[in-house]
Amino acid sequence: MKLEEIKNPKFKNYINLVYMQGENNNHQAIAEIEKDIKEYIKENNFIISIEDGEAVKIPYGNDDEYVVPIFTDEREYILGMQYFSLNVMDENKEYIIEKLDYFKKLKEDPKFLGYLVNISSVSYIINTSLL
């Protein structure tokens, strides 16, 4: 699969719906959307930034906790890499296209908080309960 073939508009719509329902404090609707997200991420590929064959980790929170950035499409990946460069967080230019269960060992790490989606444009985290 090529970078330009990765498209996840339905997933982006789910994220927007979660934000809208969050503004309305509609926790029941958020729970329903998160069920849809859980099913969606099982079946679809994302762009995962890697370095030396390992997922790139971004420190987040306390006690060495971290998130792993993922991208929904080519545009978001390019913007994300620019964001990394501006913040000197990482100069990596490698990626893989896989389902999120590719790095299964991440889920077992108590310091792994989840996947950060489209770092340059959203702050949505797919937390480990959805993986």
- Which structural domain range is residue 119 located in? 3-130
Q: How many CB atoms lie within 10 A of CB 105?
A: 9
How many folded domains does the chain comprise? 1
**Contact present, 121 and 71 (Cβ < 8 Å):** no
Can you give the pLDDT at residue 87? Answer: 63
Can you give the pLDDT at residue 94? Answer: 84
For the stretch 15-34, pLDDT in tens is 999 999 999 999 999 999 99
For the stretch 82-128, pLDDT in tens is 877 666 555 556 889 999 999 999 999 999 999 999 988 877 999 99
Q: Quick one: DSSP state of residue 121?
A: T
DSSP β-bridge partners for residue 91: none
Which helix (H) or strand (E) segment holds residue 58: the answer is strand 58-59
Can you give the pLDDT at residue 91? Answer: 59
Average pLDDT of the residues in 43-50: 94
Helix axes 27-43, 9-23, angle to 10 degrees: 160
- The owner of tokens 């489209």 is 118
Is the pLDDT at 67 greater than 60? The verdict is yes
Query: Given its phi and psi angles, is residue 83 left (phi above 0), alpha (psi -120 to 50 degrees) or beta?
Result: alpha
